[in-house]
Amino acid sequence: MYAQMVDTGAKRVRAAEEMDADERAFQERIDRGVKIEPKDFMPEHYRKTLIRQISQHAHSEIVGQLPEGNWVTRAPTLKRKAILLAKIQDEAGHGLYLYSAAETLGISRDQMLADLHSGKAKYSSIFNYPTLSWADIGAIGWLVDGAAIMNQIPLCRCSFGPYARAMTRVCKEESFHQRQGYDIMIALCRGTPEQKAMAQDALNRWWWPVVMMFGPPDEQSVHSAQSAQWKIKLFSNDELRQRFVDQTVPQAEYLGLSIPDQALKWNAQRGHYDFGQPDWNEFFEVIKGNGPCNRDRLATRVKAAADGAWFREALVAHAAKHQAPQAQKAA
Amino acid sequence: MDAAKPAAPFEYLLRLGDNALVLSQRLSEWCGKGPALEEDMALTNVALDLIGQARLWLSYAGELDSAGAGRSEDELAFLRDAGEFRNLLLVEQPNGSYADTLMRQFLFDAWHALALRELAASADPRVAEIAAKAQKEVAYHLRRSSDLVVRLGDGTEKSRAMMQAALEQLWPYTGEMFQGDALDRDAAASGAGFDPAGLRAPWLDYVGEVLAEATLKQPPAEAWMHSGGKQGRHTEKLGFLLAEMQFLQRAYPGARW
């Protein structure tokens, strides 16, 4: 998932006796594992939190096209170019069904996009980092999509029906994306010394931003408990981060690449890797808009929307012209 | 290959492959920047179809290449310079606005669909096979681009003006599609290819019909036309497109990706 620090509007979880009858019934449904559907009762905070979470995810898919689009015109072979094009197309598709899932909560796609363009809505911090070499395309598939899947697979079981169903579809494609990214890394690591160095450099630059994708440490994560109670967040940030590190270390070893963390070490007692902390100050700066590409990414999306306004208006005008006579006949 | 059946000449296949490759490259420049999410997806779809076709044409061309015996699709795509490219000038024209991109697509699709219909009946079975596959994809491209030309031409005043300007800008690059040369004549004579002049009337009919419905004014059919792409004399734009596309293969010679 690409949602980070989603505000639930609640600083603490409320006990059953503090809820009214509707809310209690709602929570009991969730506890029984029954999906909430758009027309069912839901507390206003649940609805708003989901809009924030799903739209943040959708925006991430859309903005996420840009760092990869940066290399699609320079892909090194026709086969790699075709695979990358297909991957970027999948991402646009993910954006589309996530926006649709959010629309069932009573917000329009236009409103969500306006919130993205004004800076009110966020997208994942990861897409504010630059793609400087072809190896970055491999690293994004391997690490960024790998981290996203960690979070998205549990969300297939989340409490809100349309979101859970969208995630089921997204996950199938994401696991293909991760494999294609790893396949790029394998080719680079089996290639020339320059290619191997390119792969290592990409891992060095992407490692910490990816570790940060899961969001701040649990003790600083003020909204997680409420989201967990609502079953729209099924594992904590630190749990998912640990899983990701445990999964990724052997993959890096297979590639012959080293992870840029001095503290990384297998802990036999815990049965997990110990690892260092990223620079959380950098994370909060990126979220605030100070990452290397925040301005470029948002400006590109705003320009695309502005440049395309005539196109969207023309389609609406054409439809109005050609539907009007039929509507009159019907009347 | 069956010795009794004629094979399309190497350069003839390059023309087909390079059209698809160069246009696909242009379309992929739009990635993530289209005017609507649905357009991003649809345009990428067309780019994907075209790159698939380019790979089929160039792979076959590589097999028949007597000069560099057995060049791969990637060697042909990434290691030829502009003068060795054989695409139409139309497809290398810059994306411009979305109106320019769609108009370029429409003018090409209308020719492409006709060309593939001829090639699907080629005496060269490989050509016929590739064309038959591409024909299905291009039928969709043409349906989509025609529909958008109509809706944008007959949309708002602004959209009509943009589509009309795009049409006038690109029109002088359409004549080349129907100009045959010795290579076309040889291919047509062997049954492997077709006479491009024969496509002019049906193309004008179809394009004229769509433009009329779009309330756009068709420039004169007899207007002066640019040419040279099919023989390797390109516009200044192609060199930059190739510099970008070929960067990694040129910067790291011999590397496998």
Q: What is the ipTM of this complex?
A: 0.96
What is the per-residue pLDDT across B113-172, written as a single tens digit (0 to 9) for each?
Answer: 999 999 999 999 999 999 999 999 999 999 999 999 999 999 999 999 999 999 999 999
Looking at CA atoms only, how far is residue B138 from chain A in angstroms?
17
Q: Which pair of structure tokens corresponds to residue A112?
A: 């969500």
- What are the distances in angstroms from CA A250 to CA A138, A153, A255? 17, 21, 9
What is the per-residue pLDDT across B236-250, written as a single tens digit (0 to 9) for each?
Answer: 999 999 999 999 999
Residue recorded with tokens 């966020």:
A122
What is the per-residue pLDDT across B9-45, written as a single tens digit (0 to 9) for each?
Answer: 999 999 999 999 999 999 999 999 999 999 999 999 9
Residue B2 pLDDT > 80: no
Closest CA to A244 of A269, A220, A215, A219: A215
Amino acid at B66: S
Quick check: A311 and B35 CB within 8 A?
A: yes
- Residue A81 is nearest to which of B37, B51, B254, comparing CB atoms? B51
Degrees to nearest 5, angle at CA B42 with B166 and B239: 55
Chain B residues whose CB is inside 8 A of the A79 CB are 55
Looking at CA atoms only, how far is residue A19 from chain B in angstroms?
41
- What are the distances in angstroms from CA B87 to CA A34, B11, B13, B77, B214? 58, 10, 10, 12, 28
> What is the pTM for the complete model shown?
0.95
Amino acid at A83: I
Closest CA to A176 of A149, A154, A156, A137: A149
| Chain B, nearest residue to A183 by Cα | B257
Instruction: Give me the total of CB pairs closer than 8 Å, taking one residue from chain A and one from chain B.
Output: 145
Looking at CA atoms only, how far is residue B63 from chain A in angstroms?
17
Average pLDDT score over residue span B220-224: 95
Q: What is the pLDDT of residue A5?
A: 79
The sign of the dihedral angle between the CA atoms of A105, A107, A113, A115 is negative
Q: What is the pLDDT of residue B1?
A: 45
Average pLDDT score over residue span B205-210: 98
Average pLDDT score over residue span B60-84: 91
What is the per-residue pLDDT across A70-120, written as a single tens digit (0 to 9) for each?
Answer: 999 999 999 999 999 999 999 999 999 999 999 999 999 999 999 999 999
Amino acid at B223: A
Quick check: B48 and A82 CB within 8 A?
A: yes
* Residue B109 CB neighbours (<10 A): 23
Distance CA A128, CA A277 (A): 20
Residue B55 pLDDT > 90: yes
DSSP, res B219 = P
Evaluate whether A98 touches A54 at the Cβ level (below 8 Å): yes
Evaluate whether B171 touches B203 at the Cβ level (below 8 Å): no
Q: What is the pLDDT of residue A2?
A: 78
Which residue positions in chain A have pLDDT lower than 50?
331
Quick check: B41 and A309 CB within 8 A?
A: no
Would you state the CATH architecture of domain B10-217+227-251?
A: Up-down Bundle (1.20)
Q: What is the pLDDT of residue A330?
A: 55
- Residue A78 is nearest to which of B74, B156, B244, comparing CB atoms? B74
Looking at CA atoms only, how far is residue B43 from chain A in angstroms?
9
Distance CA A69, CA B162 (A): 26
Residue B176 pLDDT > 80: yes
Chain B interface, best mutation among A311, A312, A316, A318, by max B CB count within 10 A: A311
Chain B residues whose CB is inside 8 A of the A305 CB are 35
What is the per-residue pLDDT across B94-122, written as a single tens digit (0 to 9) for each?
Answer: 999 999 999 999 999 999 999 999 999 99
Quick check: B38 and A192 CB within 8 A?
A: no
Looking at CA atoms only, how far is residue A82 from chain B in angstroms?
6
Quick check: B35 and A304 CB within 8 A?
A: yes
Average pLDDT score over residue span B218-227: 96
Quick check: A314 and B97 CB within 8 A?
A: no
Per-residue exposure over B10-48, b if at least 16 CB sit within 10 Å of its own CB, e if not: bbbbbbbbbbbbbbbbbbbbbbbbbbbbebbbbbbbbbb
The sign of the dihedral angle between the CA atoms of A313, A316, A318, A320 is negative
Chain B residues whose CB is inside 8 A of the A180 CB are none
Quick check: B55 and A74 CB within 8 A?
A: no
* Residue A229 CB neighbours (<10 A): 18
For residue A45, give every residue at least 6 positions away whose Cβ sits within 8 Å of its Cβ, in sequence order, or none.
Answer: A8, A9, A10, A226
Chain A interface, best mutation among B28, B97, B154, by max A CB count within 10 A: B28
Quick check: B159 and A314 CB within 8 A?
A: yes
Looking at CA atoms only, how far is residue A325 from chain B in angstroms?
15
Q: Please name every residue paired with A273 in a beta bridge, in sequence order, or none if there are none.
A: A266
Evaluate whether A164 touches A156 at the Cβ level (below 8 Å): yes
- Residue B162 is nearest to which of A77, A192, A310, comparing CB atoms? A310
- What are the distances in angstroms from CA A216 to CA A11, A128, A209, A212, B127? 16, 17, 12, 7, 58
Distance CA A240, CA A302 (A): 33
Evaluate whether A211 touches A245 at the Cβ level (below 8 Å): yes
